[in-house]
Chain A
Amino acid sequence: MRCSHTVTVMLLSLLIVPALTAGNAADDFTNQLISSQEIAEAGLFRLSDLFMLVDNWDGMTIDGFSWGYSVNGLSPEMSSRWIVMIDGQRMDVASFDLKSINTLPISISSVDSIRIISTPQIHEGEFSDGGLIHFYTRPAKPGLSLQGKYGVGNETGEPGPYRYTEYYSPNVDRIGADEEACIAWSRENYSIGGGWVYQDHYLTDPAMRDRCHSINNYLNPKMESLSYHSQTSVDVSGSRHNLFMGCTDFSSMQFLKTYGREIPMEDYLLHIGLNGFIPLSDFLNIRYRTKYSRKEIDKRDNTYDIYFNWIAESYYGNVEAIYSGGNTSGKAGAGLHRTIADGAELSGSQTIDKVSIYGEIERRITPNLNSTLGAYITVMDGESALKSALSNLLIIREHNKILVNLAFAQQLPGETWSDLYWADKGFLFPGIAPDVYSLSGELDKSSYFSSDLTWKREILDNARFSVGLSYRYFMDYPLEAFSVGYDTTYMTFPIQEIAMKGTDGQVLTETFSVSHDIRSRFRQRLSFRYNIYVEGDDIFEEQWNSMPQYRLSYTAAVTIAEGCSIWGKAVYLPARDYYGYGEIETLSSGLYSGRLDDLLLVDLSFQKYLWKSRLWFNLGFRNIFDEDTHLHPIGASQELTFFIQLRATFDSILN
């Protein structure tokens, strides 16, 4: 029954796609663009908070700082595959299975806009297998610009004066304070700027306090991130070149499944990237992207002397020719990504090359049909993978459009950069004896077919709806089979074995949203998404069902006066059983549970600009109903929390 449903969807997709082509004209149709106004209005505190504004993603976090995302059902949240970019340069934020966009060397207030790509396509020389987040930084204004921000959050649930009574409870520390400062100088054909960002995050939630405290030499456990960045842009004879340099020193204490607990580490990221475009004629442009990045995981003192020593240096070069003329445009490019990994845990330095060749053609077949076809070939570790995407935008009327996106993508094990990939390369996790723990299974090339059908229509002048149907068919998808125990002495979650399995599975997602805008003074949006597991292997089913089966959200924003608004969002997620943690409720005598309760999360934000928009003040409230907000069985639950942010921006001084 379910299979026939799936086949119907596939056939429907093919019927609606009469021609084999697709296009970037569909970009704004399928991609979500989040503006700086929306970021400010919602009072986003850190980069990872952008998740609050995206309705087709599922997220999980253990510590509240690092997040895993399932982007539009393209991967389970526990094996995130998204790519992150800043101004056209891919950032290497991954450390094994850990990815934290908060370690990027920019802050949320230096972001001008964010492009969220939730369907497979070629973007800036990359193929977005598992989604893509692209941050565009604030362009420098003419003259001298200065910006500074201070923000702090305070989670409720502290002992207060009851500390000195029989009602004593442990302390729950604040979030932040986060600080940042930027300076920029711009003239007609060049700009130069730089800044720093400091973030502070305590791990004092009751769910993690004791195990973090015990490994942190019994000191108050916290993570700190200090970043610097500089950016130089030059325009020469119609060409534009952008040099972005950034580094982050992240005193991390993130949960590593391999250890079943948080491990203190020093995590360094250095990124030097140069990209730009050179116009060759009215029809032909050249884009180029180069970068050097260095990812280092180093020693941070801890009780059990678990010290990482790991360095991965990456060199990347990409050239792309872009043709545009008449009804047809296209691009073709090639890139080489070389990674040299070294460290005490590896038997010797290892060089891994990834070569990419790709092309894309976009054609306006009729005034009402726009199509784009892209193909992307990756060669790595002696294997090749083909990725392709085809999208067709059918314009019925100006405000009545249908888009069909079809993709088939293979993925090589090295592209995931996972713990298991490096274990396969000979990496030994420090402090773990091979007889205590083992990794097994084969890492093979995986593939998937995806189909996204979206219909958007304006109902009235100020209202529109969107209906979508997405189908995913994963083949040999690598998932980790494991079961978590509980050690009462160390309050950790040991795993005896992680076995890699190539699994097959099919899922279907239905979405519906309606937006309403009354003269830009009052905006509201209702969104509903329903995930249907169709069929597949047992592990695939269990891991897929760890994500919420549906998600209902409502967002409203009221503009009280110019520069003054109230924003609110309510999200409801149903209860679910989380894969691998089924036994911990019994083992921990009810302290933890593998079942995540249903959740109603309501956030509010009030913003006011002062002094002709030079000052920005935001008061934000998260989880105002004080719900249990666990998004992972052993993760923190953020109780009612309030944030205060103050930002000062002085543009065009000395202009």
Chain B
Amino acid sequence: MSNVTNVLLCGVGGQGVLLASEVLALVAAEEKAQVKQTEVHGVAQRGGSVVSHLRFGDLVYSPTVRTGTGDILVAFERLEAVRYGHYLKPGGLMLINDIEVMPGQMGEYQPYPTGIIEFLQSKAFKIEEIPATALAKAHGNSKVSSLIILGALSSYLDLSQQAWERVIRKRIPPKLVDINLQAFKVGVEMAQAKAQAAVDRAECN
């Protein structure tokens, strides 16, 4: 089943991980024979850790991704990239929104860990940090950061830009379609600029 693409989206409840994974699943449904997506609903609606598994291709049985087989892990928050990193295959791509959301505290105060990116780099993943939240704020609406993240993600997936646009138009409330499409485009352009920069660097070397 090598033609199955495995994607994980993770973050903190309230960040829009579930909406983003629904949009991705709908886009995949437009272009692939089979799509499976799963997540855990439960008591940790807000502030808890959230992970969504997505698998699409010709023939997909299990909705859950095996550890060590994810092609791409999209973390809407840095710490969550560490929590679910072991689902990614060796050399797999991590797209990390470069923000830190402090977990709620139950007992003794624990500071937010430092050195996350260095730690993940030591695991030999391909890591792309994206300033989605900052870009969303710069565009006047912090809530569209998840569409910026999806825009960046779209550059790494074999799904057409037309399908993304169709789904965003269908799934997002009409009032918010334009701002979300703009955010998506910001994400696409950011990823393309990063790719170009990588090419330029390679040529310099």
A, B assembled together:
no
